[in-house]
Structures are given as C-alpha cells and as structure tokens.
Amino acid sequence: MRIRFVKTALSGGALAFCLTLAACEKVEERKKNFEELSGQVQEQLTHDVLGEPTDQEILQAASLDDRALAGVMVQRAGVADVTLEEALRTESYFAVGSVIAKPREDMSAIITSDEVAAEVEEEFSAEADQAPLPEAIMSAPEPEPFIEGRSTPMEAREPSLKALRESARAMKPPVVKRLDDTMARKLPEMSDAPRLEKLRQIDGLSQEALKRMEKMPDTAGPRMRRMLDEDKAVVMRERTRERLEKLGLPGQVEARDGGSMVIQVNISPTKYPLEGSQDIRGIKEQRIRNRFAPAKLTTNDLACNSERAKALMKTDAELATRCVVETLEESGDYEYVEKDFIFSHQFERRPSNTPTATISNIKPNDPLWSLQWHFREFGKGNDKSEGGAGFADFWNRTHQTGSAAVTVAVVDTGLQMDHPDIKGSANLAPGFDMVSDPFMGNDGDGRDSDPSDPGDACDPSDPLSEDTFHGTHVAGTVGVAATNNASGVAGGAWNVTIVPVRALGRCGGQLSDINDAIRWAAGVVPARDDIGSEIWNANPADIINLSIGLFERCPASLQEAINDATASGAIVVAAAGNARIDTKYYAPGGCDNVVTVAAGDGRGQLAYYSNYGDAVDIMAPGGDMSRDDDNDGRPDGILSTKTSHNCYDPVTEEPVETCFYAYENGTSMAAPHVSAALALLKSQFPAASADQLKSRLLTATQPRSQLQCSGKCTQYPGSTPIPGEEGMCYRPCGGATLDLAKAPLE
C-alpha cells in the first residue's frame, strides 16, 4: 500500500509540475523508471525467492503433455458389481493345473546315489557285461540333515560319494574312468566357485554386484548348492511324473533354481463349475474361466484315488489341481506342496470416471510437483502436508537425492519403456520378464529379457476392464522417471538405479513366477532365455519393492524366496494390502523378513482401505481418491507416471484424451515411498547393513496414536472396540508414519 501511495502521489505531482514548468519528458521518464522498480518489488514480494517462478507459473509454462493428468474425486465404490479383476484382487485365486512343490532336503544323498548309479548303469551296461551295481552303491550312508545357517553340508554328502566311487572299483576299468569323470563333473557344481566365475564373465556385471555375491552369508553357499543339485531334480521330477500318471493326468514337471518344482497338469476343461458365481464376477470369456479358480471353493469332496474322481479330473481343472496337491502332500517326499496362487497389484481401484546439479535449495522444477503433497514436509502451512513424508526436507538437509550405486528392483507389471518421462532415463537398468504363461504375459511369448508392460486388462470384453500400468506408477514414485527435467512429476529418490522385474501380467501374477522374480532381483539365481542360457541380474537389488497382494497367509514357497533374497543382503518392502483386514492374513505383507507398509491419507491417518495389524512396520502415503483434505480441488491420490485416458489439463480444466500422469491410491502407492526412503538412506550411509538401514527407517517417523487408526467396527472385522466411542474400533497400524525429516544424519 505504501508503494502504491507514493506512486500515486508522484503521478499527481508530476502532472502539476509538467503543466507549470514544461518538463514533461523528464518527469515521464522518471515515472516510467519508478513504475518498473515498484513492479519488481511487488513481484519479489509474491515469490518465495527473488526471480523464482511460482508453482502456478511453472504449471502454466509447461506443455500439455508435461502437465495433463488423470484422476478426479470419486465416491467410494460399492460392491454390487464385482468384475473378474475385482474378484481376483479381493479373494484368493489360483492358476488351475499349476502346483508348486519342494522336495525334502533330507532325501538328497539317497537321490544323488540313485541317480548317478542309474546314469552309470544305463550308459555303461554293455561294458560292465550287464553286471548289477554293487550293493554298497545303493546303501551309501545318509548324511546329516541340512541345518539352516550351517556352512558344511558338502562334508555331510562326501561319505556317500566316496562310498559310491570305491564300490565301483569292482567294475571294469572303462566304467571306473567314466564314473570318475561323472564325479569330477558333479562335485564342482556343489560349490559356489563356478557360479562366481561365470558371473565375472558377464558383460556389464558391476564390481559391486560381484563383491556382494562373494560376501554372501554362510547360508547362501549351501542354498546355492541345493539350487544346482541337478541329481535331486532329475529323480524328483521322475517321481512326480509317476504320481501324475497314477492319477491319469498328463503333465510336465519343471525344476526351478530356487529348489522347488512347478508341476503343470495338461487338461482341456469342457466346463468350469463355479456354483453360479460366474455371473456375479462378470466372467465373460471361457478361456479366463478355465485358467483361474477361487481358492476357497471346491467342486466336490470326492476321494482323489477313486475311479469317479479320476474320470472327472480329465475335464475338471480345479479338482485335478486339488488332487495333485493332496497326492503329493500324502507322499511325504516334499517340504511343501501348494497351489500356484494368483497375486494382484494393490491399487485401490475405482469405477472409471470421464472427466542434477548440486544446489542448496533442492526443489524439483517438474510442473506437477506442486500436486505431489505426499513428498512434502510433514505439518500444516505452505509447502507442508499433514500426510507428507518429509522427502523435500531430507533432500535439503543432506544435499543429495540418491545414488546410482543403490538399486531398487520393482517386481510388478513391468514398465512402460516408451513413457516420455522414462524413455532415456539414466535411472533405468536392464530388467527381466518372468511371466511364464503366454496368455498372462499378453506379449506373445513367455519369459524374456524385455520387462515392458503390454497391459494387464484381464477381460478385454468388459468395458470396466482397463490396463493399469501399475508397475510404471509404482516405479515412478520410487524414482524411475527423470526428475528436475521440467516435465511431469518428481520421484522420491531421483538418482537411484531402478530394475524392473515383470512378474504380473494379464489377470495378475502366478506365485511360481513371483518367487523366481524375487530371487533374480536379489541376484540369487539366474533367469533363463528360450534356449536355456543363464541371464544374471547385473544390478542385484539393495531394496525389492513388492506392491502385490494375495488374500492368504504367506505361502511357504514365497517365504523361502524372501528368505533367499534377504540372506543375500536385500531389503524386501511389501504392501500391507487393501482388504481392510489384519495383514497376517495377507501375503506378502504378512510374511516374515519384510518391511510391511500400510497406507495413510492426506491427513496422516490410516486410509480406509488399508490392512492393519501387528505385522505392519510403518505407514506411508497411499492416498485417498475420495478425499480432498488440502482443498486444492483435486483428489488426495498419489500422483505418478502412467499412461491414462479421460484426462484433463490442470491449468484450463479442459478434457484431454490421453496423458502420462495419474492419481492412484492403495498400499501399492505406500510401499514405494518406503522403498525410496530406504534408497535415500542407503545413499547417505552406503556402508550400512540391511538391519541398520531398517533401524534408521523406523527412526525416520512421526509417532501415531491408536485413535489415528480408528474406524467403524463394521468395516474392519476383528478390530478392537474403543471404550466410549460407540461403533468405533482400533486398528493397529504400525505405531509410526514415515517422515524423513526425522531421519538422523549421523
């Protein structure tokens, strides 16, 4: 006001002066100069920093492709119309005709002796004059059972191999020589040396990756030996095939590097009885009905060894799968046998709606940054949010936004490689496509080295079915997109290395593929191409993000894959799930050895959809598309990368057909915030162990009371009523919410 007053007074005085002294030109020049100066002062007062444009000006200056987005306020969806995709996310399903089994460890010595003896007998029976193998070969001493953490199972196996060799001396010399060759070939496979030598020859394998693999804990060596135990795999595959034949079922048995097997039963169902539920679930395609079955339904209670059951199994895929599981379990030859469950992404979905230089003040110039409330400093006021996770504060306190030496693997639906904010990003490293079923892969083949996301819509004939590009959204929150490039959004960790591992495709992802994806991401096992060549991850993950879920307690094979990854030094981060139940009933959030993440909204309270419980370690922003607590006229979802439709221009509010950014919500969105936070902490403390990083993470939090996790008892089965609050219940939710502003820097 003072500036305007002087300006006005000067104008009036100048006019009078001009009329009386005839000096108009000089006065007008002074007037112009003063107006320019006062304008600059006013501009300075409207900006946080002299010369820095406002968030709105940045948004207006961006091109339409760089600022258009999808996501509007929605009403919480009802449950009247449940599509197949919704059913796959809210109930547990499995892939019919697919079973995961792991042979017992204490069978290894007998199997090895039997298999090698059989190999020698078959190959050299003519040279040995058809002489039977010595009794000592078949009665070799059984080694001590394997004990986790013990580093000497090799020594336990040697007596059996030694006895086999010595007993074979009774054979003719050619047989002995070939048997010696067999032993020489097989013994090295039981150590880690050949594997490490192979790894050294891989082009592009980082020295850091080699160092990590060479320094694996003692438990990793024995585990790798078990993975390379081909003898055991051969015998158990044959035994499993024999059991399938007794059931009258054709099929294949494939040994996986993690020590388990995947049994595929080949049947061509002519019907798929779901007791009338198929209409409710909106299943429209017969081929989809034949591939997935609800885990908690069975077609009948027939005894699997009955003739009637064997006849029905030829056309009843669900019954065949159940009987294979039952038969293998009864044999006692397996540590576990389980259905190949279907995992889903953890978007909280809704009905479709039409509508690096070093600097002291780190603030990304991405035009949509101002709408990413979830990265802001925790609190109230300008540039803060009650649901913010404190990333902006951490960037400025540490003067760093991540290191390329830190790797985050995103096990998900893959990545949109042609996304304009991802294409050419320096943060992106080679990944892998682990989806083995071509139908679910939706890309015309099985496993390959291309982790691109071709789309995951389950039922293309359903108008509500759409490609989610879930992995692209998750990876964008971690930091796969180029940040501070005046385009689109910012990521949580701008400069870390992102490895996309595709394990979910059309209709979800099979447990067997997810297990392999976790191990490959951690650098524990190789992937294999079409001709069987090994492809190792040249960037073993420091952090593995699992924004996936299954409404079942943690499957044994999944727990084992997670254990293998953590034994290699990786931290596994898991979404708690969106079923509004205790996380212990959900996987992988309910598994051991994971950092389980619940979702918070823009108020910093547990989101309505989020799972909860004692298994939750931390809460992070997951968003809520039905709320607008910051009153910016937009939903409080998490804004990140993904190609979308039915978009709009946030400047003009005009509709846009296609865009590259979208709001979403779910525990899927919460988990990558924690993965990004761990990546930043690893960048700050590169020598810290996984346990030390997790400890630092749990220190970088705001405390939270039980009242902040309360909700209606009718919506959260099994939760604890709050005294004096009728109809309201507590939901345990980890006790703390992510706030990197609290992270200790010493």
Name the residues annotated as catalytic: 412, 470, 668
DSSP assignment string, 291-315:
TEEETT--S----TTSHHHHHHHTT
The upper half-sphere exposure of residue 723, i.e. CA atoms within 13 Å in the direction of its Cβ, equals 0
- Bridge partners of 528, per DSSP, are 534
| 179 and 166 Cβ atoms separated by less than 8 Å | no
Give CA–CA dist 573/617, Å, rounded: 10
| 714 and 727 Cβ atoms separated by less than 8 Å | yes
- Bridge partners of 548, per DSSP, are 345
- Give 89's contacts (C-beta < 8 A, 6+ positions apart): 344, 345, 346, 349, 549, 578
| 445 and 438 Cβ atoms separated by less than 8 Å | yes
Residue 653 Ramachandran class (φ > 0 left, ψ -120 to 50 alpha, else beta): left
**Count, residues in the chain:** 746
SS (H, E, C) 435-466: CCCHHHHCCCCCCECCCECCCCCCCCCCCCCC
User: Which tokens is 509 given?
Assistant: 């992802």
DSSP 493: S
- Residue from 260, 387, 262 nearest 334 by CA: 260
Give CA–CA dist 279/655, Å, rounded: 35
Give CA–CA dist 21/24, Å, rounded: 8
Other beta carbons within 10 angstroms of residue 555's beta carbon come to 23
| 372 and 71 Cβ atoms separated by less than 8 Å | no
- Give 439's contacts (C-beta < 8 A, 6+ positions apart): 287, 291, 506
Give CA–CA dist 73/635, Å, rounded: 5
Any alpha helices (H) in 22-92, and if so which ranges?
Answer: 24-46, 55-61, 64-67, 84-90
SS (H, E, C) 471-539: HHHHHHHHCCCCCCCCCCCCCCCCCCEEEEEECCECCEEEHHHHHHHHHHHHCCCCEECCCCCEECCCC
Q: Give me Rg for the CA atoms of the chain.
A: 31
Q: Indicate the helix (H) or strand (E) that contains 671.
A: helix 667-684
DSSP 189: G
Between the alpha carbon of residue 154 and those of residues 143, 144, 235, the distances in Å are 9, 10, 20
- Give 330's contacts (C-beta < 8 A, 6+ positions apart): none
Longest Cα–Cα distance of the chain, Å, equals 134
Buried b (16+ CB within 10 A) or exposed e, 165-184: bebbeebeeebbebbeebee
